[in-house]
């Protein structure tokens, strides 16, 4: 039995939790490779043309896994998220693509077997209920699955703590590679993890900034205390409900206040639904504090265009 996990979507947020859970149960995990042209092309040709680029790429990874031996697919159902920072409201949600991904994949590929436990979180604590229900599926008893879940939960907490304490990007921890520079000049790249750490889709904007002599701070590296301070200065509507957009808002405000950060690149998939009010609610304010540029990425984005934008932005910073 091989569990297929696409290296796309929320992989860079939750893979350590998922991997630990299945490792503890003795179930083999197969992960699709990093996005390349072939995976992207398959995604573009199979996904709904109106979806954003990260969803199209997700399709590419699923198709790679279909062709390379995965016989069960993990598409967790993203559910209600609560945040300890009460100003953010009682609950927030992922965009409907991630909430309904398992249903969409069942409709697209009815022949594949899917498991879709819920990812509902109270701050960093994942609701165990639907994970414990997987016991029968893997021929384990409740105690074994409970133990696996608890270890996976601890792994998740430790993963978040490491990113913040050691200022590491999730891709550095998951892939065990060092990417960032040791420069004192910092630049922030804030965006959804499925675009930021997909070096093919994002045209390796992180690598380009490192090559230009900057240490890159990303959203996942923002510490709890920075978030708590940042949230106080945000305009928040009564029903502030996008989980990742809230994270972005806090991160943008936090790096705007970080004196070592010289400038901010706000990276967003073209036509991102949850991010559509970012200019109205945050970027306008951030722009008063620090140079910021928005890079919107879709499948037609090209290296030359991005290079010109980056050069111009670096000139501004200097």
Partner 1 sequence: MRVMFNYFGKKFIELPQLNDKMLRWGEANAPEYSCFPLKAYMGFFKALIDMDVHDFFVYGATTIRSCRYMDLWEGGKKILADKGYDFNIHYWGGFGTMNIFKQFQGIMGKCSKAKIAVGILVYADALYAVDKLNDEANKLRPREVKAGSVDAWLKKWYEKMKKQKKLGKPVKIMNVGLKDLKNIEIDNDREIIKVAFVGDVFKVHEPFFHFDTIKKINKLGLEARQPITFSLFFFGQNPIFFRSDMVKKFKNYQKKAKKYMSSSPTSYLDISIGEVIEDLENGAKGIIHFQSFGCMPDIMFKPILDRIAKDYNVPIMHFMRDTHASDGAYQTRLEAFSDLVKRKSKK
Q: How many residues touch partner 1 (CB under 8 A)?
A: 37
CB 61 within 8 A of CB 7: yes
Among the listed residues 176, 238, 259, 304, the single contact to partner 1 using CB under 8 A:
238
83 makes contact with partner 1 (CB under 8 A): no
Tokens at 78, concatenated: 């993203």
Instruction: Pick one of 27, 65, 104, 209: the residue that binds partner 1 (CB under 8 A).
Output: 104
If one asks whether residue 38 binds partner 1 (CB under 8 A), the answer comes out as no
Contact string (CB under 8 A) for partner 1, positions 105-134, x = contact: -xxx-x-----x------------------
Of 272, 282, 295, 310, the residue at the interface with partner 1 (CB under 8 A) is: 272
Question: Among the candidate windows 153-161, 171-179, 237-245, 298-306, which touches partner 1 by CB under 8 A?
Answer: 237-245
Q: Which stretch binds partner 1 (CB under 8 A): 91-99, 198-206, 214-222, 223-231?
A: 91-99
Q: Near partner 1 by CB under 8 A, which window of 104-112, 147-155, 175-183, 208-216?
A: 104-112
Minimum distance from CB of 26 to partner 1 (Å)?
Answer: 27
For 9, residues 6+ apart whose C-beta sits below 8 A from its C-beta are: 54, 58, 98, 101, 194
| Among 281, 312, 280, CA closest to 295 | 312
Identity of the residue, 158 or 270, whose beta carbon is nearer to partner 1 in the bound complex: 270
CA distance 134 to 188: 39
145 forms part of the interface with partner 1 (CB under 8 A): no
Tokens of 222: 């923002």
Among 233, 234, 281, 287, binds partner 1 (CB under 8 A): 281
CB of 63 to partner 1, least distance (A): 14
94 counts as binding partner 1 under rule CB under 8 A: yes
274 binds partner 1 (CB under 8 A): yes
Site string for partner 1, 217-236 (x = CB under 8 A): ------------------x-
Neighbours of 55 (CB within 10 A): 21
Binding site for partner 1 (CB under 8 A): 48, 50-51, 77, 93-97, 99-104, 106-108, 110, 116, 235, 237-239, 241-242, 270-277, 279-281
């Amino acid at each position: 039995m091989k569990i297929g996990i696409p290296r796309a979507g929320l992989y860079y947020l939750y893979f350590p939790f998922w991997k630990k859970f299945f490792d503890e149960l003795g179930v083999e995990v197969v992960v699709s490779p990093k996005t390349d042209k072939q995976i992207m092309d398959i995604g573009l040709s199979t996904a709904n043309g109106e979806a954003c680029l990260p969803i199209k790429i997700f399709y590419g990874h699923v198709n790679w896994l279909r062709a390379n031996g995965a016989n069960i697919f993990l598409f967790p159902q993203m559910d209600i998220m609560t945040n300890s920072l009460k100003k953010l409201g009682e609950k927030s949600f992922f965009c409907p693509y991630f909430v309904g991904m398992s249903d969409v994949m069942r409709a697209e590929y009815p022949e594949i077997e899917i498991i879709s436990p819920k990812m509902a979180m109270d701050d960093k604590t994942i609701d165990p209920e639907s994970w414990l229900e997987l016991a029968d599926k893997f021929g384990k008893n409740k105690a074994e699955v409970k133990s696996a879940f608890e270890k996976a939960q601890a792994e998740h907490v430790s993963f978040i703590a490491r990113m913040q304490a050691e200022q590491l990007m999730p891709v550095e921890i998951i892939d065990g590679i060092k990417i960032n520079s040791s420069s004192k000049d910092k630049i922030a790249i804030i965006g959804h993890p499925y675009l930021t750490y997909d070096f093919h889709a994002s045209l390796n904007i992180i690598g380009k900034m490192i090559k230009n002599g900057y240490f890159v701070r990303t959203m996942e590296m923002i510490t709890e205390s920075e978030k708590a301070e940042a949230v106080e200065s945000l305009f928040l509507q009564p029903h502030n409900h996008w989980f990742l957009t809230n994270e972005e808002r806090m991160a943008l405000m936090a790096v705007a206040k970080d004196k070592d950060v010289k400038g901010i690149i706000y990276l967003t998939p073209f036509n991102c639904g949850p991010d559509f009010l970012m200019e109205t609610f945050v970027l306008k304010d951030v722009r008063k504090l620090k140079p910021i540029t928005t890079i919107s990425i879709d499948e037609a984005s090209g290296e030359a265009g991005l290079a010109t934008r980056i050069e111009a932005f670096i000139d501004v910073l200097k």
